[in-house]
Structure 1
Amino acid sequence: MNAIILKPIRQLSSQALKIAAGDFDRRIAPKSADEIGGLAMALDTMACNVSTKTRTLTSLMAKHIDDLHRHGVILELVSQGDTLAGILDPLASYIEQEFPDISCAIMLADSKKKRLFHGAAPSLLPFYCAAIDGMLIADKSGSCGTAAWRKERVVVEDIVSHPYWEAYHAHIIKTSLRACWAEPILDRHGDLFGVFALYYREPKGPSPQEIAFIETCARLVALSIERLNYEEKMRTLSRAVEQSPVSIVITDALGNIEYVNPRFEKITGISAASLVGKNPRVLKSGRQSAEFYQDLWKTISSGQEWSGEFENINSLGQPYWEQAVISPIRDEQGRITHYVGVKEDITERKAHEAMLLEFNQRLQEQVELEVCNRMENEKRFQQERELQQALLIQQTKLAELGGMIGAIVHQWKQPLNIISLLTQTLQNDFEDKLFDASTLETHIEEVMNQIRFMSETVDNFRDFYKPSQQKKYFAVVEAIQGVLDLLSHQLTPCNIDVVLTGNKSLVAFGFPSDFKQVIFNLINNSHDAIIERGVETGKITITVEPTDPFVTIILCDNGGGIPESLLPDKLFEPFSTTKGEKGTGIGLSLGRTIIEEKMGGRLQARNSEAGACFTIALPTEESKT
């Protein structure tokens, strides 16, 4: 019994304990075909399975440890580099060292995201790197250009035959490269940085582990580029703050100083180390009240920006003025964590302002004294000036009177000639005995017609020159036509055509004789300009039209126009003339005074393509004010 049962059981138990202790390679050879033998066989099978699984797990653990080591090395490379080249080159070299059958290439996108350029490619041949440098970012533009265009992984298992690589076929066949997998390098927002590519020397596709590896590498490159960009921005910001011409101070939420820039140290004469941890109140001069600082703190602690001026003292106890802007800094949750003050030294400006204020006060006193001294002289000067202007205006009227007399003489010449001819005809008819009552009546009627024409000419002259005593309604077209009748002897011989258009029923309210004087002066000016510039066929157009509540008269000529330096208003200033010594400079000034001050209208001037244009707007109703 002991030999048959107990001894095999003890042996089986001993072997089982050794297997349980980890000796999975131990085998239990069954010595019988009974139940004990079957149990031995089951334990042996179990030990064999456990041994196989243990070896598999050990291999996987070793691989994971190896992968973790590689990832750790790669992470260390991308975290320690301080330049892009200092990251990409070691990273690509390390990957090629760990995987000898791989050629690694990293290409970077340009700022416009149009092309890819060389970033790192330790083992690719120089001629091939040059061929793909500047690769177009577009669909079906190699593995890299396509991945960058689509922003997704592109795997080409055989680049020799694939249509994406047709443009580079001549270069590929000169290399041993056959497969290319490209992973886009994207930032956290999906913006393109470049492409991470792996080349193989035989056609193949990636395994899940290889896909995970290329994704990890692309993410790490993206993180490194983001880190470098962020660090560069921080360096730029730091240099800007350190080199700023204004002083900058940053405090914590309680107002205790955490940072001051060199400009702050220079102005205060206190080192940053001495200021850190202290409140800016150590610089107070005492000029501002407690309420001033309470208002400042209330403003910024409520999340608002404060700006203003205050006086502080430096390390020597000397006062200085600052223009400051203090703003709160918030974290992601919107809580105020710090305050930043940007301050400019305005001590010199304040001193200049004080000097300027004192100077202005003294100047004001001198001006007031000078004004008092000149009051009487100014009155006398004004009276003399008004008298001089009145004399010049009278001279202008006398000059116009001479022109009007010449017009009358010209207008009378023709009727006088007709009367003289009629008188001679009477004598001839009498001598030829053709004189009878009918002939006499005919001669008398013709003579009276000429005398009436001469009388009307005198009446027109009298109406033109006689000042209007009061405002009244008058027909505008009729008034202008009266002036044209008087000036026709001056215009027709000079080949100047005058065209007057407008509704004869349009009336204005004002002084008709003064209005005629203005029209007379404007037409004379147009006549003189046309003659002076030698225009062969002169033309003056006068248009009268309603523009409620005014009647508008537009007078234009083809005399070349007015110098731009005199427009729009200098032309109407007293003694301003375009005729040199021939003009008094009073006509247009007097015209604007008549139209605007006496009649409540407007007189303006401009140039057209051919010459000058004057616009007169006259009220059609009596002013209610």
Structure 2
Amino acid sequence: MNTPEAGRTAFPAQKKAKTVLIADDSAVMRKMLTHTLQKLGYTTLTASNGNSCQEILNRSRIDLLFLDINMPGKNGMEILSYIHEHHLELPVVMISGSDDIEQALRCLKMGAYEYLLKPFGADRVAITAKNALYESELRHNLDLFSTAMMQLPLGVVITDEKGIIKYTNPGFTAITGYSEQEAKEQSISILKSGKQSEEYYRRFWQQISSGKIWQGEFINRKKNGAFYTEHCIVSPITDPTQGITYFISIKQDITERKKEQQALAESERRFQELADLLPQPIFETDSKGIITYSNNRGLDLFGYSEDDLVKGIHSTELFIPEEREKAGNNIRLLLDGKPFENNEYQGHKKDGTTFPALVYTAPVTRAGKTLGIRGIILDISKRKEAEEKLRELNQTLEERVQERTRELEITHQQMILQEKLASIGQLAAGLAHEINNPVNFVRLNLATLKEDLGDLQSILEEYRTVSRQAKAGKLSPDSFAKIDTIEKELDIDALIDELPEIFAESERGFERIGTIIESMRNFSFRHDIDERVLFDLNKGIRDTLVIARNEYRYHANVETLLGKIPQVLCNPEQLNQVFLNLIVNSAHAIASLKQEEKGTITIETGHDKENVYCHIKDDGPGIPEEIQHRIFEPFFTTKEPGSGTGLGLSISYDIIVHKHNGQLTVNCPPQGGTVFTIALPLEPQTEPEVYETTK
């Protein structure tokens, strides 16, 4: 028989009133028990026979049952058997006027908590009820703890003070490969890999042996010999004398996380190295305009150090005091998504010196929210000096024509270089945006996969629970109903159906990043200025379209009709510069129409026996007939002041005609738009072709 624990005087406080069912055919007994139990704060229900008792058990949550053995209808033994067969978890106190020992033993074997002989007093009822409910709660908490340990995805190990394993949960088996039977009574050192020093383990044992909690990482070895990295928390368990009796360890396999961290660190290192290779300053700010990143060129140009960056530098401090208000207004416009035109400033270095600067910026957005600004700064001191020299040369006398021509040639080369640097600067933010797009949706897909895997794990654990119940012969229809409910809540079919698309979409994102990086590598490869190699124009066009995509995608769709053409002897980087200038020119021309629908840029290649051709056509506003003959002149532009240098077409013409002995022509059809045609000879020529403008 279960008896109250000796000397127990206190019971756990009731969080809410417990419900006690009294099943007895005696009205006097029901009344006495009801009065006693309600006085103790319990809610009571009564039944005068076994049938009504069973009905109440089926429709109500009962925490304790006082059950008379002899009742009309179903007797107490039948009700007790029904409770056992249907796995109803509640303590049952059997009531009987008979002192039949065998009957009492049968009740206890069938799961009864106590067997009370009539008559009994209110004190006995109170003590029995409290003890039964207290023990029931302890059993419930023990079952809950056991279930939690079994279903916990982390590994749990309990060892004695010498490190001998006494308990492991399934999470430990999943991580290490050792079953509970294989690990029990083994030393925890079976996981030791030899990858960490003895001093590391000495400090570890020293800390936990002193009664302190240890937290850190181990490189361990699984049962199959494979190494893995785990994050581990070890806590001592002490007895009443504060002596350590056991250690409990919580383990998590972080091997994949470490690989991801290493891959991320490598990616950041590569980005840093790439950024530091650029000859222009690159910077990022937060939404308040505080600079959060700069490459080495930026720090060197402005004279700041990494420590200055950590202390905090506002982006407006990079400009002279007279222009800081303008810079602040432009920052606010950019953060609000509003356009502005003036991006030329006087840079202000830490030592107080100044220089003219051209700043290209783009907002940094995540999930539709602007988090800051990313940009590139061009020191245009040389360009300004060159412009000043050109203005001076235009004012000189005729006898200085030869000297002016020589100086103009030098200046022209400087401007070509400056224009190329400006193009790179203009594209840099766009390329970062192009790479960020697939990176962002891959990151979102990974977050979705993590959530989906959690859902799948939860339904898998429920299936395992049902499996265990089936093996134990305790399977009930309610188990399948719970699985059906979870599957409906998680919409498991839709979840599984979307997984292939998530992986496919992520794979497309990685392929897009690879395409952009490959095009960047091809585009940035350098040959000597006079070096000529065989080159596929179609490949150059494809790479240029990838690099320049951010310049045209908001204004135009690009159609390519790239024929099968032979390779030509040329300087690939110079031709890519021409393709870039013409494609960006077409995009800007279409954008100038400010129409709601996108325009179209068509690129077509072909060849005949003598030349390879490339036609770049747009449906923009075209070029007025009266200025068509001037479009290849240096510094001639139809754009608004500050929007262009007027060197793009001039440089393109110089590259095609003078450096490659080809032709660059323009044609504006009557129906509108502009067609630029590049013709490059299949055989090298000694004399350059002059350009012509056709109508």
- Asked if these proteins are the same fold (TM beyond 0.5), I'd say no
TM-score (structure 2 length as normaliser): 0.33
Higher helix share: 1
In the superposition, the TM-score normalised over structure 1's length comes to: 0.36
